[in-house]
Every structure is written in structure tokens, then in C-alpha cells.
Chain A
Amino acid sequence: MLAYVLRRLLHSVPIVLVGSFITFIMVSASGDPLGDLKAKQPPVPPAVLAAEAHRMRLDQPVLERYWHWLTGILGGDWGPSVKKIDIGAEIWPRLLVSARLVTLAVLLALTLALLVGVVSAVKRYSTVDYVFTAIGFLLLSMPAFWFAILLKQQAIDLNQATGATLVYTVGEASIPPPTGFWPTVWDVLGHLVLPTVVLAMTAFAPWSRFVRSSMIEVQDSDYVRLARAKGLKRRTVLIRHALRTALVPLTTVVALDLAVLFSGAVVTETVFQWRGMGSFLLSAVRDKDIYAVMAWLLLVSVIVVLFNLIADLLYAVLDRRVRLG
């Protein structure tokens, strides 16, 4: 097992390195960070431009810049910003904000997907199954931003109708934040409700379909038949043999969809005007703040790789056949 963990870990290192290089080249080539400065009227003096170019390390050869950037990050320096912000200081709190959204959405989506997937598989081709299937397809075909605005409007109407703020529709927390631990938690949760629902729904649809089809496959398998032939109760067979085995490949699916969830988070946060990773990315791209964009991409891709690694290890724990391969 240890050898397997180390081997998977070693596999991840080159992925992250190549990923960081691609990130660097892609973002560097995507635009001139001094574009806005150069376009200014009246024109900025060349000396100022040169100094800014030097500050942004644009006077260095590409490979050197890459090396400089990568080693800088290991030392905690995320590179210079066009807007002269401290990228590291700015991005971490925002990552926490987005992470709690994504985490909660994953948990909600997983719970619902398991429930709905199992019920659909057990009662396949029944009315319940068809209703769930229809909902799944609808969610699969609904743009998250449109759904988010719709939900937000409903919440605003509800709040107005009741004259109280039942759920928050703007921001990730109240400004200024309430004092005390529990009020803070309550406030954060109130802000989380709508975005979590939106994000969870986008992931729920494909996952519930996946659970359904793998449950159906497993239910028709010989080992489930043997488990029933032993005289085990239906529920025991369903949970211990069918669900447990069907869950194994789900780990990979969830980990792989993490990048998709971050995409969804960007859109969702935009609708609910969160100050999370979404708005950080969008303003960085708009400002051509290349090191900020790189920081975002690197951070998120490392998280995705990390969770894929965890999923791989989980898979190996859940299914012993893997380690041989």
C-alpha cells in the first residue's frame, strides 16, 4: 500500500509541474499586462513603462520568468500584480470563501445523488424513476447562472413577502460581520444556502445518473445474486453489496468533476456577488493581471490534482484489485 501511495504521489508531481508551465505560457501569451497603461491618454512616459515592465519581469526571457515565478511561489511570493495588490494575501481568504461553497455543494450533491440514484435504480422504470430522470435531464440542461438568478429572485420575493431576511441573496457574509461565534456561523450559513443549492444542482444531475446506472449494473451482477442466494435481507444486500461496490467508481467521478465545480463556482459567485475566487479571477483577467490569473489557475489545479490523488487512494482502499494493476 505504501508503495502504491508513493507511486501515485510521484505521478502527481510531473502533472503539477507541466500544468504550471502550461498555465504560465498560456497566461503570458494571453495579453499584455501593460496594455491598459500603454493605451492611456496622455501617453505614459517610456521610463515609467520600462520600470513597470521591469517590475512585471517582462524584461526577462520566458523560461527565466517561469523559473523565477515558480521558485518565488515556493517561497510564498506569488509575483507582482498590475494592481499592485499582494496576490498571496488576497487569494487565500477568497479561496476559503469558495472552498466552503464547493465543499458544501459536493456534500449536498453527493447525498442527494446517492438517495435519488439508489431509489431510481431499485424502482427502475417506475413513475418515481421517470420523475427523477426528468428532473435530472432538466438540471443537466439548465444554465447555472439562469437558475441562480431565478432562485435569487424567488428569495428576494420571499424576503419581501415575509418582511424578514430569511436567506441572504448578496455576498458571502454580512458587512460588517456580526459579532460572536454563533451569529457569525449563522450569518455565513444564511449566505451559503442559495449558492450551495445552485452549485449542488449542477453536480447532482450527472452524479445521480451515474449512481443509478452503476447500481443497476451491480444489481444485475452475479455477486449480488449470490448475496441474495445466501439468504441475506434485501436491505443488507442493497447496502452492503450493491451500494458499496457501486460507490467505488463514484470516487473517481467526483474527483474528476471538481474542476467543473470550480467553473460552476465562478458563475454562481458572480450572480450572488461573492468576493470569492470567482470575482478574483474575473477582475484579474479583465485587468490582464497575469500573475494573479496564474496564481488562481495554479492553486485550483493543484487542488484538483490533490483530490484526484486522494480519490485514487480511496479507490485502492475500497477495491483491492487496483493495487495490482
Chain B
Amino acid sequence: MVEIAYAPADGELSTATPRWRLVVRRFLRHRLATVSLVVFVLLVLLAFVGGALWHYSYDVYTPDNSQPPSARHPFGTDATGYDLLAQVLRGTQRSVEIALFVAAVSGVFGSVWGAVAGLHGGKVDTVLMRIADLVLIFPAIAVAAVLANNVGASSQGWLLIGLVLAALTWPYVARLVRGLVLSLREREFIAAARTFGAGSWRIIFRHVLPNALGTIIVAVTIIVAVAILAETALSFIGFGVRPPDTSLGLLVSQNQTAVSTRPWLFYFPGLFIVLIALSVNFTGDGLRDAFDNTRSRSRR
């Protein structure tokens, strides 16, 4: 190690800063990440609020067929007269709903799984992680297609699709959290807590989880992006969200033949996917830097 002269943060000189404020400050310094977070929030608002306010609905025909973008139809219309803006907003809403659901479920489930494995160690750890690894040897899209084949068409289909995708993504979170917990477990402050009689639950909730939270948040953020791409791909190959409901992947699929004749039908839904995934990925990158003080050293 280079002994770089970081003067020890001197208690007398530095001011007290709660950790979360430090994290927020570091995140805000990452300008791209800050912009990305704003973009993502705006997109979500647009989809949920804007979709409700927009004077066309995604499932109602308009008298205009195959119109290029205009003031009336900013994103144009398709051959059957659907307003594409309404459809894209609806699709965004669905895709974001599914992605957030996936991230929440696989984040919670994966964290608990990984934490239990890491804390227990030994045989429990081996068995739990073997199971997690087992999920990873199957191509996710194939399993998702098999499982979602029968559910996509039902009214609560999007929830079930979300469950299927969560079932395929939780091992990533579990592996990460386990690794983290294994290293936290070796930290002496855990041993210290045991010496003054703290029980397992107190150790988990008071010492392990708060320290693992940053990593979990970052992982869950990345899962949002992964889930958006997985859901759209699944809908694209025809096993995800089905008509009359719609999602961004389904829109691309339905309009792929129009790419040369009415390109707006193809580009707008695709660009929305890219925009959402990109903003989430950049946000995740910013969060990673914000939580990990060793990484942000020479970045300015």
C-alpha cells in the first residue's frame, strides 16, 4: 500500500456529518448521475400522470391512421389508428411497474437469502448458494418464456411476469449480499457486539444490514435496468405482456416491420427503453460511487 498522507480526519477540525448526508453530497457531485435520476423521475411521472391526462387512451382507436408525428399526435399513430404517445406512455408505465416490482422482490428475497447464507456459513451456506447458482445456469429468457407462457394474457399478468423475472434475478443479489456479509462477519465490530451479549437478530438489524444497505441499494438499482431489458425482450418474443395491454417491448415487436416505412413507430418505444435503462444505470453508478468512499478518490 502506498502510504498516502491523508491526514487522519481530525476530530477537532472536521464537522460532524451524518453518513447519509455525505452519501447525498457525493451523489450530487456525480453530475451525470444526478441528471439521470431527475430524468428517470420525470419519465416515471410522465408515464403515470401524463398518461392519465393525455387526451387519447392507449386502447382507443383514433380516426387517424398511420400519421407521422404532429401536434395532434406527437409520436404519430399506427396503422390501426392508435395514438403512439398514449401507447408509449402506457407501455412505459407497465415496464416501469414490472421493473420496480422485480427489483423490490428480488432485492428483498435475494438479500435475505444471501444474508442467511453468509451469516450461517458452513453447510447452510453451501446448500443455499448451490441453489442460487443453479438458477444461473439456465438462460433466463428461456425459463421466463416457459413460465410466463400461460400467465401473460391474464389481467394480473404483469405481476406474474414480474414474479418470474424476480425468480430469475434474485441470485445476483443473493451472491452479492452473501459476499458482503461474509466479509462483514469477519469484522471485529460484529465480534464486539457478541462480547457484550447482542443476539443474532440485533446483530443482523443493527450492525449487518445498515452496513450492507449501500451495496444492496446499488444492486437493486441495477436490477431495475436489467428487469426493464428482460421484460421488454420477453414481450418482444411474445411471452411477456400481451395485447390488449401493452409494454415497450411489445410495441417494438408490433412495429418492427414499420421501421423503414413509418420509422416513428419503431424508434419512439425503443428510445424510451434506452432512456429508462440508461438513466437507471447512470443513477446506479452514481450511487455506487456515493456509497463507496474508496472509489471516488480521483474522480472529479
- Say yes or no for A184: interface residue by CB 8 A criterion: no
- Say yes or no for B266: interface residue by CB 8 A criterion: yes
Among B150, B236, B260, the most chain A Cβ lie within 10 Å of the Cβ of: B236
| B237 close to A270 (CB less than 8 A) | yes
Among A26, A256, A263, the most chain B Cβ lie within 10 Å of the Cβ of: A263
Chain B: residues with Cβ within 8 Å of the partner, total of 43
Interface string of A190-224 (1 = CB under 8 A from B): 00000000000000000000000000000000100
How far does the alpha carbon of A260 sit from the alpha carbon of B143 in the complex, in Å?
12
- Chain B interface main SS type: helix
Chain A: residues with Cβ within 8 Å of the partner, total of 47
How far does the alpha carbon of A296 sit from the alpha carbon of B281 in the complex, in Å?
32
Who on chain A is nearest to B273 by CB? A143
Q: Which of B16-24, B98-106, B134-142, B204-212 contacts A (4 or more CB under 8 A)?
A: B134-142
Who on chain B is nearest to A220 by CB? B2
- Say yes or no for A119: interface residue by CB 8 A criterion: no
- Chain A interface main SS type: helix
- Say yes or no for A137: interface residue by CB 8 A criterion: yes
Among A19, A145, A288, A305, the most chain B Cβ lie within 10 Å of the Cβ of: A145
| A143 close to B270 (CB less than 8 A) | yes
Q: Which residues of B contact A146 (CB under 8 A)?
A: 252, 270, 273-274
Given the known inter-chain contacts A156-B260, A222-B1, A282-B145, please indicate yes or no for A141 contacting B136, CB distance below 8 A: no
| A263 close to B259 (CB less than 8 A) | no
| B277 close to A266 (CB less than 8 A) | no
| A153 close to B138 (CB less than 8 A) | no
- Say yes or no for B166: interface residue by CB 8 A criterion: no
- Say yes or no for B216: interface residue by CB 8 A criterion: no
Interface string of A2-37 (1 = CB under 8 A from B): 000000000000010011001100110011000000
Q: Which residues of B contact A78 (CB under 8 A)?
A: none
- Whole-angstrom distance from the CB of B116 to the nearest CB of chain A? 20
Residues of A at the B interface (CB closer than 8 Å) are: 15, 18-19, 22-23, 26-27, 30-31, 125, 137-138, 140-146, 149-150, 153, 156-157, 222, 256, 259-260, 262-263, 266-267, 270-271, 281-282, 285-286, 288, 293, 296-297, 300-301, 304-305, 308
